[in-house]
Every structure is written in structure tokens, then in C-alpha cells.
Amino acid sequence: MDKFVFLRIFVLVSTTIFSFAKPNRSQFNVLDYGALPGTTEDSSQAFLRAWNDFCNTTTEDPVLTVPPGKTFLLNPVVFNGPCKPKHLTLRILGVIAAPSSPKTWSRFDPGRWLTFRGVTGLSIAGCGGFDGRGEGWWDQSCRDHQGLKLIHTYIEPQALSFQLCNNITLSNVHFINSPQVHVLIYGSSGIDIDSILIDSPGNSPNTDGIHIQAAQNISITNSIIGSGDDCVSIGDYTSNIRISDVECGPGHGISIGSLGKDGNVVQVENIHVTNVSFTNTTNGARIKTWQAGRGYVRDISYKNCKFDSVNYPIIIDQNYCLKGDACKEMKTGVHISNVTFDNFSGTSTTDVAISLNCSWAVGCTGIILQSIKLTSAMTGKRVTSSCTNAHGNAIGMVEPPSCLS
């Protein structure tokens, strides 16, 4: 046989074999790409290979599975989009675990663990979860160990981040012991979070449950969040956020802010929180801004909330300052307006159950207190309201009595 003919036949056969070896399919499993169960062998590259094929398949509705009954160790990784399918499903049936030592981050971005960037149409669901193994980070926290010589860096990793993503659903999975924020949503739109569990100790520093920044059209529903910081925190440039049917505790409540620390122009609006129970939290419904900030926080509602031994059930602090009362008064401020607290009941562990500490320079306006009944968690004690330059109306029964002007 002519050697050139033989070569052409060989290339044709090899190409055919290769195409069958890597078919364009709709089902993917990380085990098929070399992922190794356990917490000693790094499976990051195997997950990235699986993601690459999953993200680039031309079949519709592909599924990538992390199998049940197994734990996989992943170093910091970024799952990049855009992906070819319009709808994709990542099934988390096992557990994805972070490295246990902060030293591992010496060659990685210390601020991130698992990041989805530029992805659209992804559904993450399953009965598995994410173990941030954050104890090593908490032990070197700047907040709790000032002056400590850090192992690597003071920037603790956020567990799961969505950056520049659209139309994402996250449901049924659980998160435990993140080094810092458990779920970060940044620069994204159309993110729906439903029926998730977040569980970290109340004394774990900076472990917000969910943090939202520069994002729109976000919903958080039917979830249980316990952490060492805010159950949900809402940062700047956010709008159209809906939070409902959430159990919060331990933690610092559901907070808007802090905003305007560096004198930036704040733009936050249309934030609606309903049917939330707060248990043993430091705050309940909270808005906090720095005096240096400018701009607005407006059209906010907290409705149908219950409080069990919460330090400050209702709090607006327009003079937020890390130095307590040591920050001097300024002539700037973020305008907080059209805020409703409606149908609240439960107990406060402090004397001031309603604290509306607004700026003398830029007061709070359009504040509504409606159907409020807050009592002391301690038998025989009474609770009060405290207002500074807070303007609005009390509707129906308000206990303790309103101090709005």
C-alpha cells in the first residue's frame, strides 16, 4: 500500500476513534475526569476539565454531577463562562471541601475559594454541600486577634462567589464553616436562592451568610442561615432584592450596609424582607451608613418579622463608626427614606428595642412603624424607643411607643 494512502487512512481512523472517545453528551461526572474522593488529594484540575466539557457541550440541558457519599478537596478555582448551552445543571450530591490550612492560599487569590464568573443559565442544586473548613482562618482573624502575626494574609476567602453572572439558581445545598462570607453575589442579576442551609458558629468572625453587592433582581427564600456576622448583608449599588421565609440566627441580622465608608455615592433601593424569624441575633432589621457617604437608601420594607432574644430588633444607624462615639459629626450623610417596619413581635435583650439614630445633617424621612409589639426578654423590664432626627408616622399599635417626629 502506498505510504501516503496508509497515512490518510490512519488519520481518518484516529479522528473517528477520538470523536467516539469524547462524545458530545449531556451527562458529566467529575469522577470520569480524575477527581479523587477524600480530603488529601486535590481534585481542582479534574473539576475544571469536567467543567470545560460541560460548559462547551452543544447539547441542551447538560448535567454535571458531584456524586453522593463522597468528599472532594478543591483548592481555589474559577469556573469561567460564558457557556454554550442556555441552561445547565450542576448537581451537588456529595461534599466539596476547602483546604484546612490558610498556608494553602500562598499561591492563590486569598479572597476566593470557588468562583463562577460570567456564567448564565446555571442551576446548582442537590442534597450535598460545601465545607469551608474555616477554623484556621478564624484563629488568625484580625478582628479577634489584633497584633497577631498572620500566617499568610488577613484576607479570608469567601466560599462561593458569583461574579458577573445572570439567571442563576442555587437550591437545597448546605454550607458550613466558611472562612469568611458563605455566598457572595457581585455584579450579577437574576439570582434565585431557595431552601439552602448555612451553618457556622456565632463567634466565627466575618462569616456573613449571603452578601450582595452591585447586583439586581435577587431573591432569597425558604432558607436557614446561622453565622458569625449578618445572615444577609446588602452592599452598595443594589436594587430589587426580595428576602422571604428565612430563619436567621445566630448572626447579626439582615442588614443593609454598611454603606458610604469612603465618601462614595450610595444607591440602594427596593429592598423587601418578609416573614423572617430572628433568634439570638445581635440585630434584627438593620440599616447602617457612614457619615462620609452620600446618595440614598430608599423604598425599604421589613414585614412580618418575629424576634426571640434579639439585642436590637429595629435599628437605623446613620452614624455608623467602628470607634463607637469617637467619630466626630460630619455635614454629609446618606439619605434614608421610605422605610417601613410592619407587623413585628417578640423580645429584646436590651432596653432600646427601636433605635433610629439618624444624622443631624441628613435625617431619615418617611419612616413607618406599623403594628409593632416588642417586649423585654427579661421579666419585669420594659423596653423603649430612641430617635435622633428620624421623621415619619406610627400606625396602629406601636409598643414601645414611637419616638418619630
Tens-digit pLDDT profile for residues 202-244 = 999 999 999 999 999 999 999 999 999 999 999 999 999 999 9
pLDDT computed for residue 104 by the predictor: 83
More confident position, 15 or 279: 279
On whether the CB atoms of residues 292 and 262 are closer than 8 A, the answer is yes
What pLDDT score does 320 carry?
84
Judge whether 336 lies within some domain. no
pLDDT at position 265, please? 95
Using omega within 30 degrees of 0 as the cis cutoff, is the peptide bond preceding 250 cis?
yes
d(CA 48, CA 175): 21
User: Which is more confident, 167 or 332?
Assistant: 167
Whether 18 shows a pLDDT value over 50: the answer reads no
- Is 134 a domain residue? yes
Domain count, the chain: 1
Average pLDDT value for residue range 84-91: 98
* pLDDT at 169 (0 to 100): 98
Mean pLDDT calculated for residue range 37-58: 97
CATH of the domain at 160: 2.160.20.10
pLDDT at 135: 93
The pLDDT of residue 353 is 98
User: What are the tens digits of pLDDT across the range 151-163?
Assistant: 444 578 999 999 9
- pLDDT of 317 higher than 50: yes
Span 160-185, average pLDDT = 98
- Whether 380 is covered by a domain: the verdict is no
What is the C-alpha separation between 124 and 88, in angstroms, rounded? 9
For range 94-104, the mean pLDDT: 92
Residue 341 lies in a domain: no
Q: Is 145 a catalytic residue?
A: no
Asked whether residue 389 is domain-assigned, the answer is no
Cα(182)–Cα(375) distance, integer angstroms? 33
Q: Minimum mean pLDDT among 236-245, 270-279, 317-326, 360-369: which range? A: 317-326
Predicted local distance difference test score (pLDDT) of residue 6: 33
User: Residue 63: inside a domain, yes or no?
Assistant: yes
Residues in CB range of 115: below 8 A, 6 or more apart: 76, 77, 78, 79, 160, 161, 162, 163
Q: Cα–Cα distance between 185 and 402 in angstroms, integer?
A: 36
**Cα(9)–Cα(227) distance, integer angstroms:** 63
pLDDT band at 144 (very low <50, low <70, confident <90, very high): low
Q: Would 118 be classed as within a structural domain?
A: yes
| Lowest model confidence (mean pLDDT) among 121-125, 260-264, 326-330, 369-373 | 326-330
Whether this prediction's pTM lies above 0.85 is answered by yes
Instruction: Please report the pLDDT score of residue 325 as a whole number.
Output: 56
Longest Cα separation, the chain: 103
Q: Are 130 and 174 in contact (CB under 8 A)?
A: yes
Domain holding 177, by residue range, is 27-139+155-229
Q: Which of 87, 252, 272, 335 is catalytic?
A: 252
Q: Are the C-beta atoms of residues 342 and 371 closer than 8 Å to each other?
A: yes
Task: Evaluate whether residue 379 is within a structural domain.
Answer: no
Is residue 9 over pLDDT 70? no
Mean pLDDT of the chain: 90
Least confident stretch, 65-69, 162-166, 290-294, 342-346: 290-294
Distance in angstroms (rounded) separating the CA atoms of residues 326 and 321:
8
CA proximity to 332, closest of 362, 298, 363, 365: 362
Share above pLDDT 70 across residues of the chain, in percent, rounded to a whole number: 89
**pLDDT at residue 201 greater than cutoff 50:** yes
Helix/strand/coil for 318: coil
Question: For a pLDDT cut of 90, what percent of the chain falls above it?
Answer: 81
User: What is the reported pLDDT for 134?
Assistant: 94
With 50 as the cut, is the pLDDT of residue 15 above it? no
